[in-house]
Structure 1
Amino acid sequence: MVHPYESLPERSFWRTAVAERAAPAITDLWTPAFALDPDEPVLTAGSCFARHLGPALLLEGMNWYEAEPAPPGLTADEREARGYGRFSFRTGNIYTAATLRQWLSWAFEESAPPDEVWEEDGRFHDPYRPALEPGGHATPDAVGDARQRTLAAIRTAVSSAGCLIFTLGLTETWTDTVTGTVHPVCPGTVRGSFDAGRHVFRNATVAEVHRDLTESVALAWRANPALKILLTVSPVPLTATATGGHALVATTYSKSVLRAAAGQLAQELGHVDYFPSYEIITGHPFQGAFYESNRRTVSEDGVAFVMRHFFDALHGRHRPNRPDVPRTARPDTGEEQWCDDAVLDYYSHGPVPPAR
């Protein structure tokens, strides 16, 4: 072997993996670092995109673990409104690595949540999941009791699960300088009151996200050394940015930071892997086809496309190019002559495009 590029598979070259394929026929985007036994409990948590994972796992016949199921007697609408069945933990959305670390730290009693509750119209709400109980609780003690049930569920689930799938969504956070805690959303937006002297905006760096993920994994592994961690990044753009900049630029920053930190951790730690749900939806070969008209919400077809890639890779299923998704004709690559890595296309499988 003269150099490594001579023995690489088709998926490692842009021409054979992307340019010569219709978008639905792009495959082999993920090689799982570990297997998932269908019987082992799988946990899901994270941003809003993560809520699709539990139902998809169940449909595939896998053991999605809902650690805090709804009490009997609730209608489907009531279960949805109160946050049951969305994730394995009844925490509501966990958008950031800092918030995941905070919940795990409370669950495993390395720190304690503040006693603070928010009152609204005589009902009481949890500042750390303000949208979870629309009708609120009757007393402040009921807020604390509900949170303790969730923390107990997290302890039980993490200690016994085979895998945790965590979907990162944001880098923008609001820190409470009085309690030292991180809020899931800016106080005053869903509930509570915003205090400019107390609630401070922070936009995490790669190093900070990496640190929070590392500490989260360490907390989980102390309870369950066999736990596998699968990280993903949500393809859903930011609804708004507190930076004052353009939402598109802020989204690019946030997702780039999350992707870099997740990828770095997966390279550093065994039993940590990264699944490219973000790339599958946002990659330019897919031309934004999996977004609804608001260019933000991932469509049902998009979710199904992501899960197809996930389960095909997980179960070793290979889908050859089908008649409905043929390879495109071999294109003129249009590579600039001064693009140094264009020479690498020579080592891809199949005929080489004519020299320009």
Structure 2
Amino acid sequence: MSKSPYQSLPAQAFWRSAVAEAGLFGLADLWKSPWILPADAVFVTYGSCFAQHISRALLSRKLNWLNAEPAPGGTSDGLARKYNYGIFSARTGNIYTAAQMLTWARLAAGLDQADSVELWTDAQGYVHDLLRPKIEPQGFADASAAHASVESTRRAFLRSVRDSDVFVFTLGLTEGWVNLETGRSYAICPGTSVGTFNPDIHAFRNYSYPEIMADLETAFDLLRGINPDLKILLTVSPVPLVASASGHHVLTATQYSKSVLRAVAGDLAQHAGHIDYFPSYEIIAAPSGRGTFFEPNMRSVAQQGVDFVMSHFFRGLNVSGPARPSGPDAATL
């Protein structure tokens, strides 16, 4: 009689030994990067709000996080953050959905132009763009200034893709809003802080697995067209939805959203050598966590949780490859 295949599996394959007996702070080997990166590897970070924790952690460990759109010289750190500089690798603001990611990829690839981005004018006459509606606390003075800012970020986003080794993208939501006339995806629902909601034009979308997969595959193909060596590291934000327009309870809507995003990310990583997945969502939200790392509102992730996630990230990250040559002869090597 042959042995059961389970008899030869390591301890990490069994819930009792790997989770129940290990305990939350005994969890090990949750992730190991498949890539040996150079010691001077360049990282860029985009996506939902949880992505900004990765950039700060990279900087704190003296790794190369690329800020492709820094604040103007002399700007204080507080003012720079107020105007959304230095949060992501370009001034994109939060990219919550795969549809938004595709929009930025099309802009970077030159398939869309900055002046194609829809603008909203508020009651005070200030202008906001649909991709980054809250990027300027007050808004832009006019349409020309708004489109010029989008173009600046488009160039910075392109530069970040071209000059980086690892593109870290944190998936946040399946829910979003679109313009039925143009097909464009919004960063927020019109009428939420900025814009005016029009039920004849603005429609809710809860993107399905096939739609998200198709948008990300197209987006990442465009990015790899810019930088054929680009590696893409996906994560899923553990932060629950603040609200759901799906008609379902926000708790079940959150589980649906995160489950779909996790499935898409896992399948992309499984079938493409240049894509990997890091389990930030599982570390925070799995039963082993018992809600330990959430703030009292059960939504915000406490700093202790962020630090715990980052400890697993850097434990599995491999930057042991030789640094690339620099100096006047580097271009000829």
* Fold agreement, TM-score > 0.5: yes
Q: Verify the 8 A CA contact 1:38 1:61 in the aligned structure 2.
A: no
1:173 maps to what in 2?
176
> Deviation per CA, 1:158-212, whole angstroms, max 9, x where unpaired?
0121000000000001011122210011011020101111111010111111111
1:211 maps to what in 2?
214
Distance in 2 of aligned mates of 1:33 and 1:196: 47
1:279 maps to what in 2?
282
TM-score by length of 1: 0.86
Alignment match of 1:252 (pick from 251, 255, 260)? 255
Distance in 2 of aligned mates of 1:316 and 1:126: 38
- Written as runs of structure 1 = structure 2, the 5 A alignment for 1:11-160 is 11-113=12-114, 114=116, 116-120=118-122, 121-160=124-163
Report the CA distance shift for 1:115/1:167 in structure 2 as closer, same or farther (over 3 A): closer
Q: Verify the 8 A CA contact 2:117 2:130 in the aligned structure 1.
A: no
Q: Verify the 8 A CA contact 2:33 2:318 in the aligned structure 1.
A: no
Deviation at 1:75, TM superposition (A): 2.4
Distance in 2 of aligned mates of 1:267 and 1:116: 36
Paired AA for residue 33 in structure 1: P
- Written as runs of structure 1 = structure 2, the 5 A alignment for 1:315-330 is 315=318
Distance in 1 of aligned mates of 2:60 and 2:200: 48
Q: RMSD over aligned Cα, in angstroms?
A: 1.6
Q: Is residue 224 of structure 1 aligned with residue 221 of structure 2?
A: no
Choose 15-24 or 145-154, whichever is displaced more.
15-24
Choose 198-207 or 69-78, whichever is displaced more.
69-78
2:191 maps to what in 1?
188
Deviation at 1:22, TM superposition (A): 2.0
Q: Verify the 8 A CA contact 2:293 2:304 in the aligned structure 1.
A: yes
Paired AA for residue 118 in structure 2: E
Distance in 1 of aligned mates of 2:22 and 2:156: 45
Paired AA for residue 76 in structure 2: T
What stretches of structure 2 of length at least 5 have no aligned partner? 321-333
> Deviation per CA, 1:48-102, whole angstroms, max 9, x where unpaired?
1111111100111210001100112322222112111111121100011111011
- After TM superposition, the runs of 4+ consecutive aligned structure 1 residues lying more than 3 A away are 1-4
SS in 1 for 2:52: helix
What stretches of structure 1 of length at least 5 have no aligned partner? 318-356
Deviation at 1:2, TM superposition (A): 4.1
Distance in 1 of aligned mates of 2:319 and 2:146: 45
Deviation at 1:242, TM superposition (A): 0.5
Distance in 1 of aligned mates of 2:306 and 2:118: 38
TM-score by length of 2: 0.92
> Deviation per CA, 1:234-256, whole angstroms, max 9, x where unpaired?
00000000112210000000000
Distance in 2 of aligned mates of 1:237 and 1:86: 20
Q: Verify the 8 A CA contact 1:38 1:63 in the aligned structure 2.
A: no
Q: Is residue 264 of structure 1 aligned with residue 267 of structure 2?
A: yes
Distance in 2 of aligned mates of 1:257 and 1:65: 30
Deviation at 1:315, TM superposition (A): 4.3
